[in-house]
């Protein structure tokens, strides 16, 4: 082989460009714990949707009362128990009338705005007829038929129960005789008589200038979006104020969980020995007393209201967090990074704050998110049984309690607060599931 062929070309000794050096290099940006958790959380569409709903509820609870035309305590007894969707009778003069279960007449315009009660012309209590004036028209609300039929049915029911009868004769029972007129029926069961009373007898007969009104239309209540309660208060704004109470209680529970539960559990787990034993026995004592009993005892001293619930939550809701953090610390304090911090001279406070708590943020955040809906439900339950918010302040629990007496007549008063409680608790639970998947190392794939 010739010497010329053994010479290496100078071009082969040319240094590589920086881009060529990094051509096969694989790298990803460095992410902190929170950045990595947020990246995982964003991929969970249900959790993000729940976070958006929670944000909207919070924003609405803060800002809607600032510009809403009604407040939570203003009463208008003339417009009590008006539903969100009304069945109205249209009149020839362009007005609509809504007849309440109390046999009064509310004037409604074409758009659904309430104009107030119709002018009372006469109330015939004995004849069970009410007369009103709407413009130039005279409205008569005749409830005598159903009233008389109800009295007859009660007498019939008592007679059947006294003689232990399964069937009763229709002779002499006016509303049954009218219903079976022209037929050969002579006896009916009590259940059949009740069914006829509830489904076949008109509760009211509405006439306008002597002509019976039969046409009804459904129209949305534009004055009170979700209707009014038994005292004529706007149900929508009371639900909004209830959201303020519930979110305040939930956030306070999360704050107590972090401030008290985390540090209490971390100190107990890190110190160990006698300190740990004493601190955990204190937790056992606190956890053995039901929260309802805490609220009752606190109400005796402080009085009923949101402060009693907040104090009760402050005494009990951090216990579960303290146990979880203690268990995590018992594991982490045996790790090398903690021992290295001890060797370098770090004191107990620095080890807990700078080393242990940051390494437990996953379980801490998940537990905090799960405690919020639990606190909201507890507040609603305590208010429902009369141990929470005092009137006239509105809470979702008190709204459900107020609506309980008329649930069959005015079901909307119970439905809307129940929906508010259910949606809020559901969204917090879904968000906590998403946070668990995003921040808990055991859930990562």
Whether 34 is covered by a domain: the verdict is no
Contact criterion met (CB below 8 Å) for 222 and 112: yes
Residue 7 banded pLDDT, cuts 50, 70, 90: low
Residue pLDDT, tens place only, 239-294:
999 899 888 888 888 888 888 888 888 898 888 888 889 988 988 888 888 877 87
Q: Which of 135-139, 156-160, 232-236 has the highest mean pLDDT?
A: 232-236
Average pLDDT, integer, range 333-345 = 83
Whether 66 is covered by a domain: the verdict is no
User: What integer best gives the mean pLDDT of the chain?
Assistant: 82
Nearest C-alpha neighbor of 256 from the set 152, 83, 349, 372: 372
pLDDT for the residue numbered 149: 85
112, 185: one domain: no
291, 429: one domain: yes
pLDDT for the residue numbered 57: 92
The tokens of 375 are what? 């606190």
Whether 73 is covered by a domain: the verdict is no
216, 245: one domain: no
348, 359: one domain: yes
254, 187: one domain: no
Assess whether pLDDT exceeds 70 at residue 168.
yes
**Cis omega (within 30 of 0) for bond into 392:** yes
Average pLDDT, integer, range 174-181 = 82
Whether 189 is covered by a domain: the verdict is yes
Whether 407 is covered by a domain: the verdict is yes
Average pLDDT, integer, range 64-83 = 87
pLDDT for the residue numbered 401: 85
Work out the number of other CB atoms within 10 angstroms of the CB of residue 126.
6
Backbone angles phi, psi at 341, to 5 degrees: -65, -40
305, 411: one domain: yes
Residue 379 banded pLDDT, cuts 50, 70, 90: confident
Backbone angles phi, psi at 294, to 5 degrees: -55, -45
Residue pLDDT, tens place only, 349-362:
888 888 888 888 77
Contact criterion met (CB below 8 Å) for 372 and 251: yes
Q: Which of 185, 220, 255 is the last residue of a domain?
A: 220
- DSSP classification of residue 331: H
CA distance 303 to 388: 10
Backbone angles phi, psi at 318, to 5 degrees: -90, -5
Tell me the CATH number at 403: 1.10.3720.10
Residue pLDDT, tens place only, 301-311:
777 777 778 88
Domains of the chain: total: 3
Whether 180 is covered by a domain: the verdict is yes
Length of the chain, in residues? 445
Whether 127 is covered by a domain: the verdict is yes
274, 214: one domain: no
292, 420: one domain: yes
264, 176: one domain: no
246, 114: one domain: no
Nearest C-alpha neighbor of 352 from the set 368, 328, 369, 370: 328
Range of the domain at 162: 145-203
Indicate the pTM of the whole model.
Answer: 0.80
pLDDT for the residue numbered 26: 55
pLDDT for the residue numbered 398: 86
pLDDT for the residue numbered 41: 81
173, 295: one domain: no
Assess whether pLDDT exceeds 80 at residue 13.
no
131, 194: one domain: no
Average pLDDT, integer, range 118-146 = 85
Top-confidence residue, 7 or 119: 119
Q: Residue 30 is inside which H or E element, if any?
A: none
Contact criterion met (CB below 8 Å) for 75 and 233: yes
Give the Å distances, CA to CA, from 223 to 91, 109, 112, 377, 411.
Answer: 20, 11, 7, 30, 19
Whether 330 is covered by a domain: the verdict is yes
pLDDT for the residue numbered 423: 92
């Amino acid at each position: 082989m010739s010497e010329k062929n053994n010479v290496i070309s100078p071009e082969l000794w040319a240094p590589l460009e920086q881009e060529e050096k990094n051509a096969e290099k694989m790298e990803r940006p460095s992410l902190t714990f929170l950045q990595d958790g947020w990246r995982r959380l964003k991929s969970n569409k249900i959790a993000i949707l729940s976070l958006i709903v929670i944000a909207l509820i919070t924003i609405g609870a803060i800002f809607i009362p600032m510009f809403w035309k009604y407040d939570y305590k203003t009463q208008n007894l003339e417009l009590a128990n008006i539903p969100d969707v009304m069945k109205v009778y249209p009149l020839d003069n362009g007005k609509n009338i809504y007849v309440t279960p109390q046999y009064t007449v509310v004037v409604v315009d074409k758009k659904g705005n309430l104009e107030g009660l119709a002018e009372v012309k006469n109330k015939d209590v004995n004849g069970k007829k009410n007369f009103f004036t709407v413009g130039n028209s005279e409205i008569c609300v005749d409830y005598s038929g159903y009233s008389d039929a109800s009295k007859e049915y009660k007498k019939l029911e008592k007679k059947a129960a006294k003689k232990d009868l399964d069937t009763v004769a229709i002779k002499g029972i006016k509303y049954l005789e009218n219903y079976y007129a022209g037929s050969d029926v002579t006896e009916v069961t009590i259940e059949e008589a009740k069914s006829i009373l509830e489904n076949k007898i008109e509760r009211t007969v509405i006439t306008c200038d002597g002509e019976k009104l039969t046409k009804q239309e459904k129209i949305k209540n534009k004055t009170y979006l979700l209707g009014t309660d038994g005292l004529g208060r706007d149900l929508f704004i009371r639900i909004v104020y209830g959201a303020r109470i519930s979110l305040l209680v939930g956030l306070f529970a999360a704050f107590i969980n972090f401030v008290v539960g985390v540090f209490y559990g971390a100190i107990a787990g890190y110190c160990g020995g006698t300190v740990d034993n004493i601190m955990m026995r204190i937790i056992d004592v606190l956890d053995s007393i039901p929260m309802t009993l805490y609220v009752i005892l606190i109400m005796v001293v402080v009085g009923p209201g949101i402060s009693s619930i907040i104090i009760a939550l402050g005494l009990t809701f951090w216990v579960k967090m303290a146990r979880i953090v203690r268990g995590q610390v018992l594991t982490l304090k045996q790790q090398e990074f903690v021992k290295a911090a001890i060797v370098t001279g770090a004191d107990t406070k620095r080890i807990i704050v700078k080393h242990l708590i940051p390494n437990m943020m996953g379980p801490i955040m998940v537990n905090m998110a799960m405690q919020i809906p639990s606190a909201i439900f507890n507040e609603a339950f305590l208010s429902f049984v009369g141990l929470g918010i005092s009137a006239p302040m509105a809470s979702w629990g008190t709204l459900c309690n107020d609506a309980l007496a008329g649930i069959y007549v005015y079901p909307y008063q119970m439905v809307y607060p129940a929906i508010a409680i259910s949606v809020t608790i559901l969204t917090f639970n879904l968000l906590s599931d998403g946070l668990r998947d995003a921040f808990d190392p055991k859930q990562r794939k």
